[in-house]
Amino acid sequence: MRLFVGLGNPGAKYEGNRHNIGFMAVDRIAADHGFSPWRSKFQGQLAEGRLGGEKVVLLKPETYMNLSGNAVQAAVQFYKLAPEEVTVFHDELDLAPGKCRVKQGGGHAGHNGLRSIHAHIGDAYGRVRLGIGHPGHKDRVSAYVLSDFAKADQDWLDALLRGVSDGSPDLARGDGARFLNAVALRVAPPRSSATSGRPADRRAEPPSPEPPAFEPPSPEPGEDTRSPLQRLADRFR
């Protein structure tokens, strides 16, 4: 069994925020793979289903980002999971928009949601880092992550979330490489091998006239082609 946790802040006010891309990821997985309806449990929203042969629980903590560990710890204890069986989907400032990386264990890099989870279950859990880009200066980070994705972001964001959903059965099996390949196929699909150049401009040629069904032979030079009747008539002219 696996626990997939999407990080974000609850409520319509935050729904489209960059900080809520973790919520968006598990929402897409739930919708695409026929999970149960969301229900309130463990101080969050929970849905259950299967990805491939694995039973998976999806969790969206509603404790606000800074207290995400409370909900995660409650779910881990209820299902008797090891931290290694938990995967957290979260926004990542240090990755370009649309990039995705998988990581097992390690630090929280200042992310408040991860910091809270560290404090409750340790640092051995897995993470899916979903790139949102960086505003350029640390003083602008808070406003940046708590603002909505721009319209210009929608294409890559949709491709990224579709790729996460496509690869989620591989992730549930512990195959991070295949998961990332599924994401890449959505975000940067391979180009067609067909040449993009136009074919040479060929002017239309008029069709050749069809030969007649029967063409009489041409007379030889000097040959008398008159009929006997014509020759007789000519003698009396």
User: Known catalytic residues?
Assistant: 19
Q: DSSP letters along 183-217, please?
A: HHHHHSPPPPSS--SPPP--PPPPPPPPPPS--PP
Q: Collapse the DSSP code of 73 into the 3-class scheme (helix H, G, I; strand E, B; otherwise coil) and give the result.
A: helix
CA distances from 182 to 100, 109, 158, 165, 186 (A): 11, 26, 14, 9, 7
CA distance 22 to 86: 14
Q: Do residues 97 and 145 make contact, with C-beta atoms less than 8 angstroms apart?
A: no
Distance, C-alpha 143 to centroid of its chain: 27
Query: One-letter amino acid identity for 196?
Result: S
Strand segments (E) across 14-146: 39-41, 44-51, 54-61, 86-92, 100-104, 126-131
Q: How many CB atoms lie within 10 A of CB 127?
A: 26
Give 48's DSSP letter.
E
Q: How many CB atoms lie within 10 A of CB 106?
A: 13
What is the gyration radius of the CA atoms in the chain, in angstroms?
A: 36
Q: Specify the residue for token string 């149960």.
A: 36
